[in-house]
Amino acid sequence: MTPKILPRAWAFAWPLALIATGLSQTAPTLPPAARPGPTEVIELSPFTVDASADKGYRAENTLAGSRLNTSLRDTPASISVFTREFLDDIGLNEIEKLIDYSVNSQINAQDVNSGPNANNMLGGANLIQRINVRGILSAQGIDYFKSITVNDGYRIDRYDDSRGPNSILFGVGDAGGIINQSSILATTNRTNGRLSHELGTYGTNRSTLRHNQMIVPRKLALALAGVHQENGGWREPSFHDKDRLFATVTFTPTDRITFRAMGETGREHRAVVAPFPPSTARSPGSTTATRAA
């Protein structure tokens, strides 16, 4: 019996069929990936800048350019921000000392006026020292309201120095600009505090206190700040004593509504030595003489 020989085509067809069968096998089905659970979204207020977002000497946002919480790199204005860490490291408590680290700013000493008592800074004639920016008078504000009290850094989280006119800040900023003082805010997510004491030359003796108390988590908080100061002066018998207390409350009934209230009380007692010797002046055509000492 003669054996049958398969055609050559069939000999090549079988391996190809096996390969095709292997390629057509269905891949194993992977289990569906677990969906991430819902995450809490924290929506920041566009009208408030939280100084806790500042990192070291670098600030992230400001209200000085547009009255809205805007990134500094997107603000088309000349603005310098002095953070709380910078103020603590340098030991700054007054705007008059802060401008030494600013740009194109100086105390308005009325050096263009003639007279023995032209310098109101040394004479203590002004309650709030005026500051010139680029040679033009600038304004001072607290939380972007006109400042009518003597400035002190015990209740301040940061300073924003906005140089040049800004029509957005009309009624607050002057043509030279504005130095705004941002008050501390009560935070509803933690309780913390700090106590410091400062000693220095010319009889410097100053104590400050800050405390933030979380009363109801994420709902209600109270923050307090106080200062007690007994400072001498570089000329006897000048001195500068003060006792001041600041308080602020934050109440957040819902995620979209926040109420804040703040207030300050205290006293300051200060003596400034006149920067000129006793003198006698007489007006032309007048028989009345005035004496300054």
At the top level of CATH, which class does the domain 44-183 belong to? mainly beta
User: Residue 287: pLDDT above 70?
Assistant: no
Token pair listed for 36: 């991430």
Token pair 């919480």 in the structure block, residue: 69
The amino acid at residue 114 is S
CA–CA dist 291, 202 (Å, integer): 30
Across the strands, what pairs with 153? none
Mean pLDDT computed over every residue of the chain:
77
* pTM of the predicted structure, to 2 decimals: 0.72
CA–CA dist 257, 45 (Å, integer): 10
Q: What is the dihedral of CA 243, 246, 247, 250, to 10 degrees?
A: -170
236 pLDDT band, cuts 50/70/90, is confident
CA–CA dist 179, 176 (Å, integer): 10
String of DSSP letters for 115-169 = STT--HHHHT--SS--EEETTEEEEEEETTEE--S---GGGEEEEEEEES--GGG
User: Residue 1: pLDDT above 50?
Assistant: no
The pairing of beta strand 289-292 with beta strand 220-232:
unpaired
User: Residue 231: pLDDT above 70?
Assistant: yes
Q: Evaluate whether 75 touches 97 at the Cβ level (below 8 Å).
A: no
pLDDT in tens, 5-53: 444 544 445 554 444 444 445 555 555 555 555 555 445 555 566 566 6
CA–CA dist 293, 277 (Å, integer): 6
Token pair listed for 260: 């804040």
**pLDDT reported for residue 183:** 93
Looking at per-residue pLDDT, the higher value among 123 and 104 belongs to 104
User: Per-residue pLDDT averaged across 89-97, rounded?
Assistant: 87
Peptide bond before 277: cis, by omega within 30 degrees of 0?
A: no
Looking at per-residue pLDDT, the higher value among 223 and 74 belongs to 223
Parts of the chain belonging to CATH 2.170.130.10: 44-183
Token pair listed for 166: 């800004």
